[in-house]
Structures are given as structure tokens and as C-alpha cells.
Structure 1
Amino acid sequence: MLLARVAAGVAGGLALYTAFPPLDWWLCAPLGIALIVASLYGARPRRAAWLGYLTAVVFLLPTLAWVRAIGDDVWLMLVGTESVFYAAMAALAALVFRLRAWPLWFGGLWVAMEWARGLVPIGGFPWARVAFSQSESLFTEYAALGGAPLVSFAVALCGALLAYAALAGSRAGSRAGWRRAAPVALALAVPVLTLAIPRPGDEGRTVNIGIVQGNVPGRGMGFLGDEPAVVLRNHANETKRLAQAVREGKLPKPDLVALPENSTDIDPYRDPYARQIIQESVQDVGVPTLIGAVVAIGEENRATRSLVWDPKNGPGAYYDKQHLVPFGEYTPFKDIVLALWQRANLVGRQSIAGDKPGDLKMGPVTIGAVNCYEVAYDETVRGTVRAGGTPLVMQANNATYALSNLPPQQLAMYKLRAVEHNRAVVAAATTGISAYIRPDGKVSWRTRELVADMNVVKVPVRTQETIATRVGAAPEWALMMMGAAAAGVAAWRGRRRGDRMRND
């Protein structure tokens, strides 16, 4: 029996991994969760906890393999830490399995687990949420109703219902067929119901946006290369190539241009050479350009900045990244970590987080700037849309993780955010994947990785908000409270049952 539980958990973890990019076998997500539920059902909380931990390790090791670019030790520590959340969820699931309608309560616990992962430790790590495996599936449209949490809930509920059917079918009795058929029908209904969700229509307004991917010379942790300003020159040259293509009639004239995060490796506020290169390239293209820069704040700190550069007036409005990458842009527990871990010194100046949304006026529109890592954070993207950002411009620097499974995972997040907020998404990345995603989540144009590339795309400007944008985190909190309440009731009933047995 224990061996069967372990086998089901391992198979479930592997199936869940295959649902994520680059494989994108989205149907494997509910099937994987069904196997995970089957491995936990009927187990005591303590056993369920270590089974859940094992399953999470099997799932997260390949899903987060891109972290190996930093170091195998970091990869293993991250997987080990994140798996604790799955263990806690599994222990609580073992309790709610004793209640009627437990697939619902299990789905709520799954949402609570993903919420907790995105909160702690050190700012959380909301990557590899089940919703991000469903950017082009029958579950995708739930994002427009309740955001990523509702998508995760729907997939978890579907998987739990399939497990319910399998477990019911294993019992003898005349009603076994009905017990199997009803939950299977409900499981099929969960994704099919999205076909009835209305989608906002086109509003008849568009904007031309230039996208520049300049590429970088190095790979891994040394992606900047040894020659100063090479990243800056690459992106300036590609911007000039875009301007030339426009003059030759090969591309339409853009209203604005977007460059990636870290498209200049030198602070343009402090370095006249960097300022001149940027100014020349922006003047050549002739429209406001969004630059990605790491700029100094005082003598010891920095900011990861999305900076609007006007061809006449130079640098202007900006957005500073709010969700910073631990050990990449700042060092948590700095004194201890720097003393014990030499690689942490590569962070250099410590970044300071911004505290305002990325609504930036550029030409005829107010774009919504979102910076790389923060696309995984619901409240950051939602806050930018609520502030008036449309379309969304996602700047990224994935050079450290080029050709790993990170760029396609990030592209999947872009697609889900487009549907969630009814906004076109323009993504500019240093080494790829740069892309244009329509508000329906479909990719209209994308680059290959590790090449210089550029284009001008016609993007719809949408202002109508989805239900998910308006209600914010309310569905997530409702689902979490539902799961927590069920776990509390199950624990209370178990204690009462134990008390009665002792009294007898």
C-alpha cells in the first residue's frame, strides 16, 4: 500500500511538470493532481505530509531546473524550501478528505498553499503555480473571472474530482457506477464551462509599438561579458536598425519603442557616454522609448528602472521595480549571507524596491510597465492595470537563464496575464523570448533566443476591465477561507471522535 502511494505521488509530480512549458501538456495538470490526491487519500496527516513533500520535490526539481544557472546548491535549497508548503497542504488535505464534498475543500487548500508560497520566505516565490501551466487551455478563461488563483482552483478541483471518481469506483456496491459517473461529469464540466464566459470585445483603438531585443555577449552569471557598454551598444544598434527599417518602409512607424530590462549596463544618469548613446538611438527612431536601466541610488544602492526616454527631452518618467529578486538584486540577511556565501557578492550594490505602479505616459497611450520577475505577482500586475496601464509592457532580462525552461515559463505568464486583465502584452527581453500577446492570450509574434531582433507590432488598446481586475484578491481569499474552514472542521471532528473513543 505504501509503495502504491509513493508511485502515485511520483507519477503525479512528473505529470504536473509536463503541464508546464516547454512541454505545455496542459491536460496533465488535472491528471497529475488526481494522482497526487490518490496518493494522499486515506493517509494519516503525518504520512501525507512526507508524501506531499516527495511529490513536490519530483515536480519542482525539473520545473525549476533553470535555477541551476546560479548553482546546483541554490536549486536544491529552493526546491527543498518550496516543497515544505506542499507538505503542509498535504497534511491538511488528509483531514479534509474525511468530509463530504472534499474535492472543493482540497481545491481551496491548494490555492492557500500557492498564496503562502508567494508570500514567504523573503518575499515569496510564486513561480510554478498550476495556473501558469494553463495559459492556452480550456481553463485559461477562469483568469478573467478570478485571476490566477481561480485557474489553479479549477485545475485542482478537476483533478480532485477525477480522483474521487477513481476512488469511488474501487469500492464494491451497486452505487459504484453512479459514484464514478457523477464526479467525472463534474470534472469535465469545470473546463467546459469556460466556453460560456463572455470576453470583452475590441474597442477600435490601436498603437504601434517597436520591440527591440539586442542580445548580450555572455551566458549564465557572466552574461554582461568583459567589455564595458557592450549590452548598451547592442540595444542602441538594434534600435537604429529598427529606425532604418521604418525609413525604408519595411516596418510601420512606431508610436513608441520598448527595450528590455538592463538594456543599458551603464547608468545613463551618471555616465555621459551612456547618455549620448541612448540619446542618439532614441533620436534616430524619433519616438519615446522605454529603456531598462540599473541606476545608482546614493553611493551604496541602486534601482532596477523602466525609464521613458524622449527624443527631445531625454530621460523623464520612470518606474522602479517593486518585487526584487532575492540574491539577484539584493541580499537578504546581508551580513550573514555575504560572510558565508562568496557568490552573494556578485549582487554588488543592493537594489531598493519601488512603491508605485508602472503607469507611464508614452506617446498616445499610458503603458503599464512590469519588470521581469514581478509578472508572477498578482497584485503588481493588477495594480498597474488599475492605475491605467494599457497595453502592458513587460521588460525582462533572462540572459542568465537562456535556453533553459525559464523563458517559455515566463511567456506563459504573459499569456495568462493578458487574458486575466483584457490587455495586450508586449514583452521585450535581452536574449528572448520577446513577444506580442493579444488580449485573448494568443501569441502574434515572438523571437528566438540568443539573437538580436526587432519588430513593430500593431497593438489593440483596451480599457474595459475584467471581473478579475475589478474584484482583485477577493476570490483568492474566499477560496482560501473555504479550505481553511474545512480543515478546521475536520480537525475538530477528529478530536471529538478521539475524545469519545477515550471515554468509551
Structure 2
Amino acid sequence: MRIPRLRLVAAGALVAASMPPWGWWPLAFVGCAAYATVAAGAGRRAPFRTAMWWAAGWFVPSLAWMWFLTVPGYFLVVLIFGALHGTAAVLAAAVGRASDAHRRPALVIGHTLAETVRLSAPFGGVPLATMALSQSQSPLAHLAGTGGVVLVTLAVFALSFAEHRLRVAAALAALLMLALPFDSTRHVGSATYALVQGGGEQGTHVGDVDPRDVFEAHLAATRTIAPRADRTAVVWPENVINITGHGSFAESRERDEIAAEARRLGVPFVVGITEDTGDGRFTNAQVVVQPDGSVTDRYDKKRRVPFGEYMPMRSLLDSLGAPVDLVPRDAVPGTTPGFLDADGVRMAVAISWEVFFGGRVNEGIDGGAKVIVNPTNGSSYTWTILQTQQVASSRIRAREQGRWVLQVAPTGFSAFVSPDGEVLERTGISERRVIERTVDLHTGRTPYSRLGNAPYIWALVAALGLLLLRARGANRKGRS
């Protein structure tokens, strides 16, 4: 029997269509269920290839933005992601040989674990086009405050693969009810933030645009802001102040101009900078500039973007003719905790890529942050696939922590996201615009914030191990 490749690719494409920017979230269940049906029909034959074809339909379109950044990296990531789900299918098939009743639970757990691996591998983690992101607008997103992306992902696969879906839905509802008493988040005041988007062209790379032009675009947008007595801070996007090759930010003309605007408005500025480190590398940081020009706080980005801020396997890819010069230098990862203090309010800071990782945001919340800020820069990426997935990730992070998320980008999207994951205001791509809102500050922790991903991952590993042991025991009995 031949593998019905077209059906598998179509099932994967349905999953892709559930992702941003398309965002038809119910299609995730249709695509997963269609895959499970084909996989069951294939029986023990070629589970790895079956999952690989499904994954190709899922990841080729939903990661298409990578084509314009790095073609080798694009194909490598698609193959790795497919292999993870292929391995999950092989494990489920191994369990199914001994007991067909256990095959579906193994399929649910295996594919959930395949998604969790992407939180840390390859290249330190590439959690893009994940099953959890497809549900940022669905009722299942409510699970994020209890179990983060792991529980959301488990719920999607369980509802898609299970024979008794009503039982699964009832169990998930019960889990939400049990978790409610452990959510200690509460409202403790408010703060007003202005987010500055300078505008500009998408799909540009280092060297395509004069850094000074980017700075002046944001300065011009800032000059449209009128003073306001209750404003807390003005927030600029990631690395729009690029002074690499021109000394330090503290001694720069740009710092003086930012300080002048801070004095005019009477509030601190939270701005993104890049600086040389003196060893052929650079830093990507967010700093707080006071009206007197002093820099009172700084956070250096810890999780770097592979193929964007550093080039994995640079020598190997260069020998294969890959355009490694698109990332001529590597960023230095930061070491300080992920939060900043501005006007007496502590903010959890996840710079750009870091917002895709729940642990990066959780670090700032653990440090006492009452709001989350995500300064980012998506101007290097063509189309809006990545940018819309980032907004979806901000929605998940807001639910996980019970905090407002302020996302600010030079060319879009900039947005305010409420603690229940609602996008209340969002800019367009390439437009110059300032958005401002008073947001509630929160303290306390959600169940997810207290536990993180680890307990859920280990529980899944233990459950899969138990299923494999039972399958092994059943096989031995069958041979005796």
C-alpha cells in the first residue's frame, strides 16, 4: 500500500492555515484528525514517512518567510521539525503493535513532545509555527495560564486524535476549574505607555538602510507626542539606535537627542540599541534613558535569533556557498535578568525573538514585573507570517502571566495585548504611528508562572515511557 502523500500534505496544509497570518484555528483540529486517520490506515507501515509528509504540508507554508532570510536554514529547519514528528509517529506505532488502544494516547503524547523539543532545539529552540500559536484566538488559549504552550498543544492533539472527545473536553474543563484557586494575580494600579513605530520598508537587511534614517524616523514620530502628566514612559522598538562602529551609546549624539525628548515629555524612554563589544561582535540591548540623559537600567538580549543575530555552523554553511555574509557578525548573549525599571514600574523584557519562549518572560515576572514589554524588529522579514505569529505569541504570553504585553516594532506590528489575550490596538505594516494606552498593572502568579513547562514535559515523558514499557511487556508475552 502506497502512502497517500497528497492527502497527508493537504492535512498538513490545513494545520498551516490555522496559523497566523491566516488564523483559521478550527482547521488545526481538522488537519490533525485527517493525519491521524491516514496514519491509522497505514497501520505499521512507514509511520516516519507518513508524519514527514504531514509535517511538510504544515511547515513549508507556515515558515515560508525563512526563504528570504536563509534558504539552507529554511530547508534544514523544515526537515528537523518533520523528523521530530516522524519520530513521534514511530514511537506511537511501536506502542500500537502491542495494543491498539494505547496507540492513540501515544500519538497524542509523542506529537506533543515533538512540539516541546522545539522550545530548546535546534539552535537553542525555534518555536515558530507551533500548534499552540494556532490556538491564540481559540477557547483553548485559556489553558495557557495553567499549563502554558505544552498544555495547549496537548489539548489540540488530544481533541484531534481521541476517540472520546467529550471525555477529553470534560477533563480539560475540570483542570481549568481546579487551577483557578492557584491564580493569585491581582490588579495593583495602572501605567500609561506610548509605543513609537517609525515606519519603513519591510524585507530589508543590514546595510540596506542607513541606521540614521531609522533613528530619525522614530524621532520624527516621537516629536508628535504631546506632554501628558500621567504618562509613565515612551517605548521604542528593538535596535533602532544602531551605533555599531561609532563608539558607545553613552557618548553618542543619539543619546543626547533621546534625552532632549525625555526632558520635553518629562518621562523616561525605553529604547533599543546595538553597540560594538570590541571583539568583532555586538550587543542588542534595551536601555532606560532618563530626562537628564543618564542610563539607569539595561537589559541585553539573551536568546539570539539563529540566522538573524548569529550564524549557526558558519564555516560549514560558508563552504556550501550559503550567504553567511547576511549576518556578518554574531551578537553576544546577555547575562542579566530580564526586567527593567522605568518610573517606578518594573517591566519584564523579552526582546523580539524572546517572546516566543515562555521562560524568558517568566524570568522577569519572577523578578517582580507588573507588565511585559516586547520591543522587536521584524523589518528584515518579507510578508507578515512571522510578524503575525509574534503577535499570537504575545497573546499566549499575556495569558500565561496574567499581564499586559506591550509589543513595539519599527515597521509593524506594534500592539497592546490585554491579560486575557485580546489585541486592543495594533498598527499596520510600514506605517509611522504612535499608539498610547493606560494599562492595568498586575502582581501575583498564575499556575503556569509558578511551575513553568518542566513538570508538564516530565509528566508526558513518564507517560510515554510507561506506554512503551507496557508495549514491550505485551510483546514478550505474545512471543512466549
Q: CA RMSD in A?
A: 2.4
More displaced stretch, 93-102 vs 431-440 = 93-102
More displaced stretch, 480-489 vs 16-25 = 480-489
The residue aligned with 2:461 is: 480
Contact preservation (8 Å) 1:96, 1:490: yes
The residue aligned with 1:180 is: none
The residue aligned with 2:63 is: 64
The residue aligned with 2:359 is: 379
Residues of 1 paired with 2:476 and 2:333: CA distance?
Answer: 46
The residue aligned with 1:124 is: 125
The residue aligned with 1:494 is: 475
Residues of 1 paired with 2:326 and 2:206: CA distance?
Answer: 12
Task: Call closer, same or farther: CA 1:228–1:353 in 2, change over 3 Å.
Answer: closer
The residue aligned with 1:417 is: 397
1:230 counterpart = 2:213: yes
Task: Call closer, same or farther: CA 1:237–1:253 in 2, change over 3 Å.
Answer: farther
Contact preservation (8 Å) 2:185, 2:446: no
1:396 aligns with one of 355, 363, 376: 376
Structure 1 segments, 4+ long, off by >6 Å, are none
Residues of 2 paired with 1:152 and 1:101: CA distance?
Answer: 19
The residue aligned with 1:93 is: 92
Q: Percent identity?
A: 27
The residue aligned with 2:297 is: 317
Contact preservation (8 Å) 1:159, 1:187: no
Task: Call closer, same or farther: CA 1:47–1:408 in 2, change over 3 Å.
Answer: same
Residues of 2 paired with 1:421 and 1:299: CA distance?
Answer: 38
Residues of 2 paired with 1:120 and 1:152: CA distance?
Answer: 17
Residues of 2 paired with 1:330 and 1:45: CA distance?
Answer: 41
The answer for unaligned runs of 5 or more in structure 2 is none
Task: Call closer, same or farther: CA 1:387–1:328 in 2, change over 3 Å.
Answer: same
Residues of 1 paired with 2:102 and 2:477: CA distance?
Answer: 21
The residue aligned with 1:256 is: 233
Deviation at 1:350, TM superposition (A): 1.6
Contact preservation (8 Å) 2:199, 2:410: yes
Deviation at 1:388, TM superposition (A): 1.6
Task: Call closer, same or farther: CA 1:201–1:328 in 2, change over 3 Å.
Answer: closer
Residues of 2 paired with 1:430 and 1:226: CA distance?
Answer: 13
1:384-441, CA deviations, whole angstroms, 9 ceiling, x for partnerless residues? Answer: 2112222000011001125321111110110011111111101001111100011011
1:264-313, CA deviations, whole angstroms, 9 ceiling, x for partnerless residues? Answer: 12255276222223222333332111111112112312111111111114
Task: Call closer, same or farther: CA 1:435–1:190 in 2, change over 3 Å.
Answer: farther
1:113 counterpart = 2:135: no
Contact preservation (8 Å) 1:21, 1:409: yes
The residue aligned with 1:15 is: 14
Task: Call closer, same or farther: CA 1:15–1:270 in 2, change over 3 Å.
Answer: same
Contact preservation (8 Å) 2:193, 2:436: yes
The answer for unaligned runs of 5 or more in structure 1 is 165-182
The residue aligned with 1:134 is: 135
2:199 aligns with one of 215, 225, 234: 215
Task: Call closer, same or farther: CA 1:190–1:17 in 2, change over 3 Å.
Answer: farther
Look up the SS of the partner of 2:369 in the other structure.
Answer: coil
Task: Call closer, same or farther: CA 1:101–1:88 in 2, change over 3 Å.
Answer: closer
Contact preservation (8 Å) 2:399, 2:420: yes
The residue aligned with 1:149 is: 150
1:299 counterpart = 2:279: yes
Residues of 2 paired with 1:430 and 1:190: CA distance?
Answer: 43
Contact preservation (8 Å) 1:395, 1:429: yes
Task: Call closer, same or farther: CA 1:84–1:209 in 2, change over 3 Å.
Answer: same
The alignment's TM-score, normalised by the length of structure 1, stands at 0.87
